Amino acid sequence: MSLTSMTGFGRAQCRAGALTVQAEARSVNGRWLQVRLRVPNELARLEPRLESLVRSSLARGTVDVQLRVEADRARGLPRIDGRVLSRYRRALDSLGGGEAALLLSLPGVVSWDENGRSEAAVDKLALAAARQAIERLAAARRAEGRRLAVALRRELSALGKRLASVRRRAPVAVAQQQQNLRRRLESLLQGAALSPDDPGLQRELALLADRTDIREELDRLDSHLAALSAALSGGDGRPAGRELDFLLQEVGREVNTLGAKSSDARIVADVIHAKAAVERLREQAANLE
């Protein structure tokens, strides 16, 4: 899995003769991959190819791609799109007519291109700019992913230390709870003799031990933390965000169970810190692809 952020920005510019295409690509968090395009009317034909470029490079996030085309009119020649002009003319005639020259100012009618540059050449220039911007966006997301990985490993280490402290304290806490229960029972019986081998007492102590035994939760947490560490190491190229999110949900569930089962003050304190570490992990992991 690879650690790649879902946030980033990339910009590129390509120029050929009098024509310049500027491209910007930016992304933010998203559950799935959503592509939003803002391109001039004369480049609307490129939208499927632009979306394909994004989907071939990114797996998750809301991605915005914007293209701007600028022509040096001092060097370029105007080009009129006859099909668009005809549609405008028919619409004007249906409204009763009007000043035909004004149609030239409407969007998509006139474009500027050096020496009547072909659509194929314009498309090639626009796609080149978009490709560079998307590549730079992807590089920015990878760089941010590396920074997030450092923060995630730090929080994972802190969580591991808290859980190790809980494991060391657990046997002492269980024994202390059993002693406290014995004293409460003796107090309720107003000092009456109570044999340690009394079947009723042994049954209650066994039930208490079962309710307060947190070894299974700790064992599952050790397994989850090992899986998290492996995911943070990356290596197989797959996005890690969804797996990390699932693992952290399981970790949070087990940590909550530890808190519910424990009344020992030191364990409770460790669990509180562990919950805070899990929350920080989830906030950071939510940014990953």
| pLDDT digits 0-9 by tens, 56-90 | 999 999 999 999 988 765 555 667 777 777 887 78
Rounded Cα distance between 286 and 214, Å, is: 29
Q: How confident is the model at residue 272 (pLDDT cuts 50, 70, 90)?
A: very high
Listed by start position, the domains of the chain span 8-141, 145-285
- Coil/strand/helix, residue 87: helix
Residue 114 has which token pair? 């050096």
Tell whether pTM > 0.85. Answer: no
How many H-runs (helices) and E-runs (strands) does the chain carry?
7, 6
Strands (DSSP E) contained in 72-203 are 77-80, 110-113
| pLDDT digits 0-9 by tens, 9-40 | 999 999 988 789 999 999 999 989 999 999 99
